[in-house]
Amino acid sequence: MARGKKRADGLYQRTFRIKIRNTYKKYTVYGHSEQELSQKENAKREQIKKGLEKYNNPTVAEYYERWSQGRIVHIAPSTYRTQDKIFGLLMNIEIHNPTKIKFGQIKMRDVDIVVLRELQMTLKDSRKSRTVNDYIALIKHLFSDAYKERVIEYNPCLLINNYKITEERARDTHHRALSLEEQKKFFECERCKNSFYYNVFCFAISTGMRIGEIGALMMSDIRNDIIHVERTITRTETGSYKVGDNAKTEAGRRIIPITDQIQAIITRQQEQNTLLHNRTNKMNGLLFSAVEGGLLMATPIDRELKRICKIVEIEPFTMHALRDTFATRAIESGMNPKTLQEILGHSDFSITMNLYGHCLPNTKKTEMDAVNIVI
């Protein structure tokens, strides 16, 4: 090491250069003696070496931290929070590589197809195939970007295949439409009619709006006999809920004509707000709220739905089933699928048909009977 220069103030000064990514950067340390200068220079070199190692050959967790910070401005806070939660789970899964180590502690360059398959199989022990595939898709995204940045020499995710989906689709379970008989039983139930959320149930099945959109609906959004869907309830990075500034998607910003039935529901809800919360239904106020006056949340409403279903002895369903039911009734009534797409706020026409194009068996029979093919 070069000797330091003594300054006028009595301190020693030493300047040295370190190569960082094909360029040399100058550093200076100060001390009261040559020994102190050497100690400080060694400490600085070690610090930079560790930093470069972390940058050039990071662990999965280190690279994820860097990668996620670059994405935070491009994705919604709720999406970021969900992604962060999933990766938090993935990082702590133990891999035998060949010794036991957490996935997040493995160097990116040391992750191979054997590691990924063990990760995939560990997830499959407690999760459905569709969920495992979604988690692995995030890993694939992470490693794809790492390859583009040349953090890794090759992308091991190219060798991993998704699991075949064997579970029932969501639309065949809780994402189902009520039959006409179930619908009648549910809405004629006294528990339903006396529920705090009765108007919410009626509004959902009459408009096809999502629960988050209903909870974010303001009086100012209802004008000229039209509902203007402008926003939805969303989650922040910290996990709390708020009324967002936008709808779920660009197509989610839409208008829904107000029928006499919908207007009657709005009027009943305004009267309920005045009676229970002493609210004057201001234009910037929410039309629907929770029992205690806070934001309308799906979880307590779904619990109420479950109680009513138990009373009327029908298969339990969630709030989303009322949106599905609206869509199915609309198709059964002959609504144009493109019109239905716009009312539901789907960005892709195939989403409308894939989720809601399945009519009930008796409806299919009626439609087939109407087909007259001469042979």
SS (H, E, C) 254-315: EEEECCHHHHHHHHHHHHHHHHHHCCCCCCCCECCCCCCCCCCCHHHHHHHHHHHHHHHCCC
Task: Out of 20-34, 56-70, 132-146, pick the least confident.
Answer: 20-34
pLDDT in tens, 76-116: 777 788 888 899 999 999 998 778 999 999 999 999 999 99
Confidence of residue 266 (pLDDT cuts 50, 70, 90): very high
In the chain, the percentage of residues whose pLDDT exceeds 90 is 42
Task: Out of 7-11, 17-21, 52-56, 238-242, pick the least confident.
Answer: 52-56
pLDDT of residue 170: 47
Contact 110, 98 (CB under 8 A): no
Contact 337, 356 (CB under 8 A): no
What structural domains does the chain harbor?
5-56 (no CATH), 60-159 (1.10.150.130), 174-363 (1.10.443.10)
pLDDT in tens, 133-190: 999 999 999 999 999 988 898 999 998 999 887 655 544 444 578 999 999 999 999 9
pLDDT of residue 171: 46
Task: Out of 45-54, 221-230, 338-347, pick the least confident.
Answer: 45-54
The answer to whether residue 75 scores a pLDDT higher than 90 is: no
Work out whether strand 100-102 and strand 94-96 pair parallel, antiparallel, or are unpaired: antiparallel
If 0-12 CB within 10 Å is exposed, 13-18 middle and 19+ buried, where does residue 19 land?
exposed
Higher pLDDT, 78 or 253: 253
What is the CB neighbour count within 10 angstroms for residue 87?
22
Average pLDDT over residues 120-135: 90
Contact 340, 356 (CB under 8 A): yes
Average pLDDT, the chain: 84
Cis peptide before 98 (omega within 30 of 0): yes
pLDDT in tens, 175-225: 578 999 999 999 999 999 999 999 999 999 999 999 999 999 999 999 999
Higher pLDDT, 251 or 111: 111
3-class secondary structure, 23: strand
Q: DSSP state, 49? A: H
pLDDT of residue 145: 92
pLDDT of residue 241: 80
pLDDT of residue 331: 84
Task: Out of 182-186, 320-324, 346-350, pick the least confident.
Answer: 346-350
Sheet containing strand 5-6, edge to edge, reads: 5-6, 12-20, 23-31
CA contacts within 13 A on the Cβ side of 146: 32
Higher pLDDT, 188 or 128: 188
